[in-house]
A and B are shown apart, each in its own frame.
Chain A
Amino acid sequence: MNRTVSNRIEQNRIDQRFAALKAQGRTALIPYITAGDPAPAHTVDFMHACVEAGADVLELGVPFSDPMADGPVIQKACERALVHGTRLQHVLEMVAEFRQRDSETPVVLMGYLNPIERMGYDIFTRQAQVSGVDGVLVVDMPPEEAGDNAALFAEHGLQSIFLLAPTTSEARAKAICEHGEGYLYYVSLKGVTGAATLDADAVGAQLSKLRRVTELPLCVGFGIRDGATAAAIGRVADGVIVGSALVGRIAERADDPASIPAALKSILGEMREALDHDVPS
């Protein structure tokens, strides 16, 4: 589970992207959408739309029947995707298709362990690498359970993104930071995705503590839903992750998928604008 050799880190799209953002003094905008929602045929278009609206990294959700850490919005997205038969295999194909037109934007697969476990770790890592996946965030695989998988992922150029929570002890945070690659996903509040409001000052205080133990970019998810919340978190974080707010808009337009790219661009554009032009007070 050691950090991989330095040349591989440099090659990884995630590290390159964060290095560039840092040089520009910008905050990463990281949208999450569930693959296959509302139907598999649209996902790649949505990914490109996100990039056109200013996304720096894409988190692509692998639908799962039992998304234990997700609120109703993403639960329903999983259900819509699964009804259409979207499986991990298809998600990897979507990434490969995305890569035909976009070889630069990092793509992180986010989801639960069982689809990977069932596919088999060897097959998954090989196919993910070929498809052009850059990172993997498995919600229910904390570092102590990652074991050999993290090393296997690294061999195939897949960075292991780990979560940190407000309840994470200092000792655990240190261990997680040591194992983490790419960026760290700070869960801003206790709860499931799509939950209520967040306190930017409290998040900022937590991130300051984390910065003492890691140099990895700190990105914040949970509770970011518009330009104002993005800007508030952007003042203290290296990246903002927006999921349920986007997935909610997809749900509203599930019957009219052609209108979804414009809707995604609208909200992401607002966030991009807020992040880039926010003057710290």
Chain B
Amino acid sequence: MKSLEEIHKIREEKRKELDLRVNTKADTREKHILVCHGTGCTSSKSPEILENFRRILKEKNITNVRVIKTGCFGLCAKGPIVIIRPEDTFYALVTPEDCEEIIDTHIVKGERVERLLCKDIDGTVVNSLDELNFYKKQKRIALKNCGVVNPEEIDEYIAFDGYKALEKVLNEMTQDEVIDVIKDSGLRGRGGAGFPTGKKWELTKASVGDQKYVVCNADEGDPGAFMDRSILEGDPHSVLEAMTIAGYAIGANKGYIYVRAEYPIAVQRLKIAIDQARAYGLLGENIFDTDFSFDIEIRLGAGAFVCGEETALLESIEGKRGQPRVKPPYPAQSGLWGKPTLINNVETYANIAQIILNGAKWYSSIGTETSKGTKVFALGGNVNNIGLVEVPMGTTLREIIYDIGGGIPNGREFKAAQTGGPSGGCIPKEHLDTPIDYESLKQIGSMMGSGGLIVMDDTKCMVALAKFYLDFTVSESCGKCTPCRIGTKRMLEILERLCNGEGEELDLYKLEKLAANIQKSSVCGLGQTAPNPVVSTMKYFREEFREHAIQKECRTLECKAMAKITVNEEKCKGCGLCQKHCPVNAIDGSGRDKRIINQEKCIKCGTCITSCPFHAIGN
């Protein structure tokens, strides 16, 4: 247990000590080597890098350098990332073998290791984080501490104003004042639907009940989205603090975090954070010597996408099959074990403390008319800078994909961007300049969703993509209501027919009709939005659907049944490279002959296309 004074003292002293993390001109002889320990970098050996640094420093008896484990820096494509502060030198794609050189050259000699410096897409060497185009248009609120603090040290969180918002709320504000601030800020749920957060808090507070609960939805099931995981891994205390504030505002004393078991690092850091917060008395009985008590427990999910739906999540916490309940009553009235329950998403919580500290006005000055603040996107797919970005609402897709994301690799063309995961839709080229907010995305047939943003180049078949998403929904449908359980299955069968070249024109009409019925009659959000990927691709890429259905053709190589790879005789020089690369010996011809592809043997892997130096092979 720490008293208020002790917490203040920790904040003051630690802040001085950590000044070099945020201030490149910090007056200190110390250096901090920050090693990213997000899931991406951990998979490419960042724990080994950390160990090597520590071992070498010890061997060389260097004492003014500390090696710190941090959360995600965002630019996962360049991982593992090592940053040395205060000078803010950014080393990319570091391997455990590079550690010795970094210490010898950078730390001992004071020179930079040129070959490891991060380079921008155009090849310019980047001296510090802020110089990188990737970071220039970003604004970090929810990710403020990610990559700055050690997520396993509560003192570091406290140093950067951690738990200050909680102190302010408990000592200076009434429940209604807290709710008013959140309402005025215009914050909306970051889980996807965008329900006003303050309104949700108000409704839950107004519900009568002897016991209320606060739940954090960390069941990030959208494939290709990793925002929530990064926040939990990089800054778990921000979520704990916000849940405690929410508990005070609605009158609850118990919280649950429902997190995917597939995120072992996030679960581990949450456990550490909860233990530390309890030890400091920031969770538990009489927080900051007030009457308010609050505690948090972790509940692990077990791999079911539908549990991201709030009522299914509640069922799962109760130990049952995660099947959604019929709404109303909403969780605000009857949630966990029938008690009023507040459910918010991880990213929503990550904004709360900042709003309390900086005020509603500050927050609502960022963003668009209807959508305030920032949004974190997990940028992935065919884009150069794969990673985590946080931008103000109203930023256009073009800015995210080209300015921040660095454009499409391998000289390919942009074809579509997918937002909102299996519930969202595809956005074509002509809408690249749409400012992103909840309403505008809905208008163009997609949705904000939790924040997965997958970019696709022109080698991707839109019919196959629609099939991919339907395949996902079919296997994740909980089976409770008929439209979703059977309807999506029928849609998938039609799409499979189309991709196998066995479709007909009537199939397109059937798809649309089924989609409309499923949207109208499913019980929960998962079913109601399941047809979206099909509807939006059919809207913008109808030609491609028609080609599949009528001409039995696919523009790309993805629908293998229809693909036919041929050699352009005029361009072929008879070099034989394609033959060498073909894994199934399907290419005939010898010497300087023009090569011919044996269609019976060909497995349409496309290796010959990429191996031909004369671009003579194609679909």
Are A and B interaction partners?
Answer: no
Question: B residues touching A (Cβ–Cβ < 8 Å)?
Answer: none
